[in-house]
Amino acid sequence: MAGIYLHIPFCRQACHYCNFHFSTSLNRKNDFISALLKEIAARKDYLEAEPIETVYFGGGTPSLLATEEIATILQQLRALYPLVSGAEVTLEANPDDITTARLRSWRETGINRLSIGVQSFFEEDLRWMNRAHDARQALDCIGLAQEEGLDNISIDLIYGGPTLPDSHWQQNVERAIGLGIPHLSCYALTVEPRTALDTLIRRHQVAEVSPDDQARQFLLLMDWMAAAGYEHYEISNFAQPGHRSRHNSAYWQGKKYLGLGPSAHSYNGVSREWNVANNAQYIAAPGLVTEKEILTPDQQVNEYIMISLRTLEGIDLQTLAHRFGPQRAAQLRQRAEKHIIGSHLRLAEERLQLTMEGKLLADGIAADLFFDTQSK
């Protein structure tokens, strides 16, 4: 089974923290749709007819597309790719784009899951982030979706920002739980280079982000979500049982996926490639791959370590031994010992899993476990 990701590179306005590829001008949206349809046709053999179990409209803001455009894209995919019955089809949407009429039309096109960019239910946070929606829309859009039967919902929340005290963070999380939202993606506010937020902080126009605040709010989050019965199945993702994101889970399981649209990445098990991150160049040459990387054996095992360590199940040493050899599994087990002693990893049924404290250090622990040519 494989997945398809479609990058829709348009936003109504730029959030201060965002470093994804997008344009706030919709002037060439029609040209982009034409180019995307051409790329869908041109790359139909990339996944070698492997059944497609998930389709994900990301961006950018895919909910800016007209319903007819979404329907045309899905029609093209169904005609050229083997989508399985019951495939998960997710649309990222902003609260200000969600109306009863649009929800009904999205369902009719085949959208069966929404990922809503709420970020916060507090007005001051949304203004500070330069979000296009307000606090009332953040709340109302969820009720509208549930009333229309599109209740397979995920929402994004951001923590660790200077406008978010612990009490407001708790209210954000409790509100999401109280609304019965089955999936939450919660991200620490990250200051990415060359974003508006980076510039504002360097000019001392806004307060800096506190790593201590972020760590504390992440620990609080894990406690609250566990108490509410959610699975912490990946570092940033929490789900009620049976409501994990099938699309994102496929990434973390190392499954193949095809990325369509400017800046989109693709992976077929042995190589990774990505499209040009420029709308004009993409429109002129749909599917233009700007870089391709053949993964070495070291990179393949490191990729498995990186993605599996972030999950609830952790690194399966037996799977690693089967795929990459028992010597590597033994070496990894030995290398992990200091993190086990330090209570950042635990070994349970031949799986290396992050502890709660270890989740604060996930990237560093993964990097410490990586193999290189000298470690063979």
Give the separation between CA 133 and CA 96, rounded to whole angstroms: 5
Inside any domain, residue 220 = yes
Residues 88 and 229 in one domain: yes
Contact of 124 with 168, CB cutoff 8 Å? no
pLDDT attached to residue 206: 79
Residue 164 phi, psi (nearest 5): -115, 95
Residue 340 lies in a domain: yes
The answer to the question of residue 350 being in a domain is: yes
Which residues form the domain of 317? 296-376
285 within some domain: no
- Identify the domain boundary among 197, 232, 251: 251
Same domain, residue pair 31 and 161: yes
Could you tell me if residue 330 is inside a domain?
yes
Kindly state whether residues 236 and 327 are assigned to the same domain: no
Residue 16: inside a domain, yes or no?
Answer: yes
Distance CA 353, CA 314 (A): 4
Give me 96's structure tokens. Answer: 């200000």
The length of the chain is: 376
Domain CATH code at residue 81 = 3.20.20.70
Instruction: Please identify, among 251, 284, 318, the residue that sits at the C-terminal boundary of a domain.
Output: 251
- Residue 165, CA distances (Å) to 102, 171, 278 in order: 35, 10, 38
What pTM, to 2 d.p., does this model score?
0.94
CATH code, domain with 359: 1.10.10.920
If asked whether residues 153 and 9 sit together in one domain, one would say yes
Does residue 284 sit within a domain?
no
For residue 286, the tally of other CB atoms under 10 A from its CB is: 23
State which of 251, 281, 309 marks the end of a domain.
251
Q: Looking at the structure, do residues 237 and 359 belong to the same domain, yes or no?
A: no
Which tokens in the block code for residue 31? 């040209």
Judgement on whether residues 196 and 138 belong to the same structural domain of the protein: yes
Is the domain of 306 the same as that of 247?
no
Structural contact between residues 94 and 61, judged by C-beta atoms closer than 8 angstroms: yes
Please check whether residues 73 and 215 belong to one and the same domain: yes
Q: Can you give the pLDDT at residue 376?
A: 44
29 with 147, same domain? Answer: yes
Give me the residues paired with residue 4 across strands: 55, 258
Question: What integer pLDDT is reported at residue 137 of this predicted model?
Answer: 97
Does residue 258 lie within any of the structural domains? no
Q: Would you state the pLDDT for residue 228?
A: 98
Task: Mark out the alpha helices in 148-271 (DSSP H runs).
Answer: 166-178, 196-202, 211-227, 246-252
Whether 53 and 194 map to the same domain: the answer is yes
- Tally of domains within the chain: 2
Torsional sign, CA 243, 307, 110, 148: positive
- The per-residue pLDDT string of the chain (376 residues; one tens digit each, 9 = 90 and over) reads 899 999 999 999 888 888 888 898 889 999 999 999 999 999 999 999 999 999 999 999 999 999 999 999 999 999 999 999 999 999 999 999 999 999 999 999 999 999 999 999 999 999 989 999 999 999 999 999 999 999 999 999 999 999 999 999 999 999 999 999 999 999 999 888 878 887 888 888 878 889 999 999 999 999 999 999 999 999 999 999 999 999 999 999 989 999 999 999 999 988 999 999 999 999 999 988 889 999 999 999 999 999 999 999 999 999 999 999 999 999 999 999 999 999 999 999 999 999 999 999 999 999 999 998 444 4
> Are 98 and 214 contained in the same domain?
yes
| E-strand stretches of 242-359 | 257-260, 265-267, 271-275, 289-294, 315-316, 345-348, 351-354
Phi, psi of 45, deg, nearest 5: -95, 0
214 and 300 belong to one structural domain: no
